Each structure stands twice: as C-alpha cells, then as structure tokens.
Amino acid sequence: MVIFLIAIAAFCSTLISGFFALRLQDRLHLVLGFSAGAIIAVAFFDILPEALELAGAVHSTATIFTFTVVGFAAYLVLNRFVPHHEHGIDGVQTLRRSAGAGSVSFHSFLDGVAVGLAFQVSTAVGAVVAVAVLAHNFSDGINTVGMVLRHGGDRRMARKWLLADAAAPVLGILSTLFFRVPEDILGLLLALFAGFFLYIGASDLIPESYHSHPVRWTTVATIAGMLALYIVIRLAGV
C-alpha cells in the first residue's frame, strides 16, 4: 500500500514542478539556469554516489566512471550530429527535443525502479530512497519543460512530455513487482545517465540560459539550483 502512495506522490511532484515552469515561461532563462544547476547537482551529489554504492562491490571505480564518460560522449555525439540552433529542419528539432526530454523520463523511470528495489530490501530503506526520489522528481518536471521549450517545442508539447515524465517513476515502481535487477547493473546504468545529465546541464542548458540574457542572474539561478538540490539531497540522506 505504501509503495502505491509513493508512486502517486512522485506523479504529482513532477506535474506540479512542470506547471510551475510553464507559468514562468516568460522568464525561461532563469528556469533553464536553475535547471542546469539542479541537473548537475543531481548527477554529482546523488546519481554518481548511488552508482558507486550499488556497483562498487563488483566493479572498480574506474569502470563505473568509464560508464559516466561513455554517457557524456554519447550525448556529445548526438549533439554534434544535429544542428545547435533553431534554424534547422523541424524533424531535427523534434529529435533533439525527444532525446533531451526522453533521457529525463528514462532517468525518472530508473528512479522508480530504485524505489521499488529499495522496498524489496526493507520498508525503512525504501522510505529513505523515496524521499530523495520525490525531491528529484520536482526538479525533473522543471528540467523536462525547460528542455522541450529550449528546442522549439510549444506549451502543448511541453505538457505531453511532462505527463510522460510524471508517469515514468510510477511505471518504474510498478515494474519492480515483476522483476529484479542486480545492484551492480543498476549502478552502471545510473553512472551512464550521470554522464547524460552532466552534458545536458553543462553544455546545453547553461549556455542557452545566458545566450540572450544578463549573465549575472542566470549565474545566480544556476548556483541556486546546485545549492537547492545539494540541501535537499543531504536532508533526504539524514
């Protein structure tokens, strides 16, 4: 019963944050700046430590970080093979939009898987992981909306991807009722997506946030995103 309530809470958390971002569309540069800081902080302060903890008993630290580099390089190749600006073909923008928002949604699915597997260990462990995931879902909603609008999507498209991202952790949680994933494999997957997130935050969202806006406030927004997620993650780990 508890795990189903957490699934509902994860869905609502993502939707609320996404609609918050949509209402601030006229200040999207600040949303993008905050999203960049949040997504980088999640990669460094949560995903990578979790990957090391899950896979460290089987794989070396070098192997785990290699997966992070592979993830970063894979997203780099994707970006280099498509135009970087909005002047290209609509289909290209759709590809970039889908890749960015889709990676966030898949990470949200893995978040749900992590919650489900944690509850398979014990209710106490599951509760701690759930608190962290709910906090991350809030930033995921903002990140999803930011990336869709960044790549030429309209509000309707942003709402569709937001709904997909909100449903992803629910599906992840429910899926663990039917299968089990070895911890070391899950750790490697998280390391891979940490690389995705580091590229998205540092090479995509940060440059776009200050492209046509004052650097001062977008920089403040990015640092605020990092600090906010650092505090949330640390509090969730207490």
Q: Which of 98, 99, 45, 106 is nearest to 76 (CA)?
A: 99
**What is the pTM assigned to this prediction?**
0.64
Q: How far apart are CA 97 and CA 13, in angstroms?
A: 22
All residues at 6 or more sequence positions from 146 whose CB lies less than 8 Å from its CB, including other chains: 21, 28, 31, 32, 35, 205
pLDDT on residue 129: 73
pLDDT (tens digit per residue) in 86-110: 444 445 455 555 666 666 777 788 7
Per-residue model confidence (pLDDT) at position 189: 85
Which residues does the chain have with pLDDT short of 50? 83-90, 92
Amino acid code (one letter) for 39: I
* Tokens found for residue 204: 């995509």
